[in-house]
Amino acid sequence: MRAIRLVPFVFGVVPAFASGCLDRPVAPITPDNLRVSVQPLRVKRIEKVDLLFVVDNSASMKDKQSELGRRIPELVAGLTTPSVDPITGRQTRVLDVHVGIITSSLGSNGTGGCHKGWYGQHMDDRGHLLPRPADPPASNGWTLDGAGNPVKAACPTVKPGAALTWVADAARDPKAAFVGDSGAQALQAAASCVVESVKDDGCGYEATWEAAYRFLADPAPSLTANVACNLPESTGPYTCSGSIKSAGLDTELLEQRAKFLRPDSLLAVVVLSDENDFSLRPEGRNWKPWAQSMGAMPHGSSSCASVPDDVEPDDSAGIQDLFTRYGCRSCDDDPSAPGCSGAKWPLADGDKDHVYLRGFHQVQRFGWNALWGRQRYVDAFTRSSVLGGDGKMGKNPIFAGGRSPDMIVVAGIVGVPQGLVTGAKGEPKVLQDSDWEKMISPDLAKRDPHMIESFLERKGIPKYTGDRNVDLVNGGDRAIAVDDLQYACIGKRVTPGGADDCGKLTAAGNPLCSGADNQPYFKAYPGLRHLRILHDLGDRGFVGSICAESYSPAIRGISERIKNVVDAQCIKTDVTPDATGDVGCFILETFTDASFDGKTRCEDIGKGYCTPGASPCRVDGTDYPPVAASVAAAQLTLPVTVQGPDGLAKTQRTPASVEGDNVYVVGSDGHRHLVCEMMQLAGGRAPEADAKGCQTDPKFVKPSTGGGWCYTNDAAVVGDACRARGAIGKVRFLGDVEPKNGSEVFTVCIGR
Q: pLDDT category, 427, cuts 50, 70, 90?
A: confident
- For residues 737 and 674, membership in a common domain is answered with yes
Segment 423-433 shows an average pLDDT of 87
Q: How confident is the model at residue 144 (pLDDT cuts 50, 70, 90)?
A: very high
Using a 10 angstrom Cβ sphere, with 0-12 exposed, 13-18 middle and 19 or more buried, the burial of residue 254 is middle
Peptide bond into 616 cis (omega under 30): yes
Domain that holds residue 488: 454-524
The three-class DSSP label of residue 213 is helix
**Which of 283-287, 328-332, 478-482, 705-709 is the least confident region?**
478-482
* Least-confidence region, from 223-237, 245-259, 301-315, 591-605: 591-605
Does 227 reside within a domain?
no
Residue 448 lies in a domain: no
Comparing 549 with 487, the larger pLDDT belongs to 487
**Together in a domain, 602 and 681:** yes
Contacts of 446 (CB under 8 A, 6+ apart): 437, 438
**What is the rounded distance in angstroms from the CA atom of residue 99 to the CA atom of residue 269?**
10
**pTM for the whole thing?**
0.82
- Given 497, 524, 551, the domain boundary residue is 524
H or E, element range at 225? strand 224-229
Q: Which residue has the higher pLDDT, 239 or 80?
A: 239
Do residues 407 and 551 both lie within one domain?
yes
Residue 573 to residue 414: CA distance in whole angstroms: 34
pLDDT at 724 over 70: no
Residues 332 and 387 in one domain: no
Q: Report whether pLDDT(87) > 50.
A: no
11 belongs to a structural domain: no
Report the distance separating Cα 582 and Cα 711, nearest Å: 8
- Of 325, 341, 366, the last residue of a domain is 366
Quick check: 15 pLDDT over 90?
no
Average pLDDT over residues 736-749: 81
Three-state SS for 419-475 is: HHHECCCCCECCCCHHHHHHHHCCCCCCCCHHHCCCCCCCCCCCECCCCHHHCCCCC
Among 164, 118, 326, 343, smallest CA distance to 259 is for 164
Task: State yes or no: pLDDT of 150 exceeds 60.
Answer: yes
Question: Average pLDDT, stretch 518-526?
Answer: 92
Same domain, 36 and 146: no
Q: Are residues 432 and 510 in the same domain?
A: no
pLDDT in tens, 188-215: 999 999 998 898 899 999 999 999 999 9
Strand partners, 300: 330
- Please spell the DSSP secondary structure of 267-332, one letter per residue: EEEEEE-SS----B--SBTTTHHHHSPTT-SPPBPGGGGGS-TT----SHHHHHHHHHHH---BTT
Q: What is the pLDDT of residue 100?
A: 97
- The residues, any chain, with a CB within 8 Å of residue 84's CB and separated by 6 or more, are 90, 91
Q: Which residues pair with 271 in a beta bridge?
A: 54, 412
Q: How confident is the model at residue 405 (pLDDT cuts 50, 70, 90)?
A: confident
Residue 557 main-chain phi, psi, to 5 deg: -65, -40
Tell me, what's the pLDDT at 461?
98
Is the model more confident about 18 or about 679?
679
pLDDT > 90? residue 8: no
For residue 241, what are the β-bridge partners? Answer: 228
Residue range 682-699: mean pLDDT, rounded: 91
564 vs 54, which has greater pLDDT?
54
Higher pLDDT among residues 402 and 372, named by residue:
372
221 vs 71, higher pLDDT = 221
**Torsion, Cα of 215, 217, 220, 221 (10° steps):** -30
Average confidence (pLDDT) over 272-290: 96
Average pLDDT on 332-337 reads 94
For residue 446, tell me if it sits in a domain: no
pLDDT score recorded for residue 57: 94
pLDDT at position 394 over 60: yes
Residue 246 has pLDDT above 90, yes or no: yes
Whether omega for the bond prior to residue 73 falls within 30 degrees of 0, making it cis, is no
426/534 same-domain check: yes
Q: Is the pLDDT of residue 16 over 60?
A: no
> Does 215 or 699 have the greater pLDDT score?
215
Q: Annotate 143-194 with DSSP letters as a single string.
A: EE-TTS-EEEEPPPP--TTS-EEEESSTTT-TT-SEEHHHHHHHHHHHHHHH
**Does residue 56 fall inside a structural domain?**
yes
Residue 449 is assigned to a structural domain of this protein: no
Residue 611 confidence (pLDDT) above 50: yes
pLDDT higher than 50, residue 12: no
Tell me: do 605 and 538 sit in the same domain.
Answer: no
Task: Evaluate whether residue 574 is within a structural domain.
Answer: yes
Whether residue 508 contacts residue 480, with contact meaning beta carbons closer than 8 Å, is answered with no
In a domain, 714, yes or no: yes
Nearest CA to 156 out of 133, 180, 178, 135 is that of 178
Based on the number of CB atoms within 10 Å of its own CB, is 305 exposed (0-12), middle (13-18) or buried (19 or more)? middle
Which residue, 509, 673, 486, is CA-closest to 592? 673
Question: What is the mean pLDDT of the segment spanning 406-414?
Answer: 90
Per-residue pLDDT at 178: 96
Q: Higher model confidence: residue 536 or residue 492? A: 536
Same domain for 383 and 487, yes or no, is no
Residue 24 pLDDT greater than 50, yes or no: no
Return the number of other C-beta atoms located less than 10 Å from residue 424's C-beta: 6
Q: How many domains does the chain have?
A: 4
pLDDT at 553: 81
Cα–Cα distance measured from residue 299 to residue 140, given in angstroms and rounded to the nearest whole number: 49
What is the DSSP track for 522-564?
EEE---HHHHHHHHHTGGGEEEEETTSS-SHHHHHHHHHHHHH
Q: Given a cut of 80, is residue 668 above it in pLDDT?
A: yes
Task: Tell me, yes or no, whether 463 and 354 share the same domain.
Answer: no
Tell me the average pLDDT across 396-425.
Answer: 89
Distance CA 296, CA 395 (A): 40
Which region among 259-268, 560-569, 614-623, 649-658 has the lowest average model confidence (pLDDT)?
560-569
Q: Could you tell me if 517 and 542 lie in one domain? A: no
What's the rounded mean pLDDT across residues 612-639?
Answer: 89
Whether the predicted pLDDT of 650 surpasses 80: no
Distance separating alpha carbons of residues 747 and 588, to the nearest angstrom: 6
Between 736 and 722, name the one with better pLDDT.
Answer: 736
First to last CA, the chain: 12
| pLDDT recorded at residue 596 | 64
Which tens digits make up the pLDDT trace of 351-384? Answer: 999 999 999 999 999 999 999 999 999 999 999 9
From 63-72, 273-282, 474-483, 566-575, the region with the lowest mean pLDDT: 566-575
* Section 95-105 average pLDDT: 95
Same structural domain, 497 and 624: no
Domain limit, last residue, from 332, 366, 400: 366
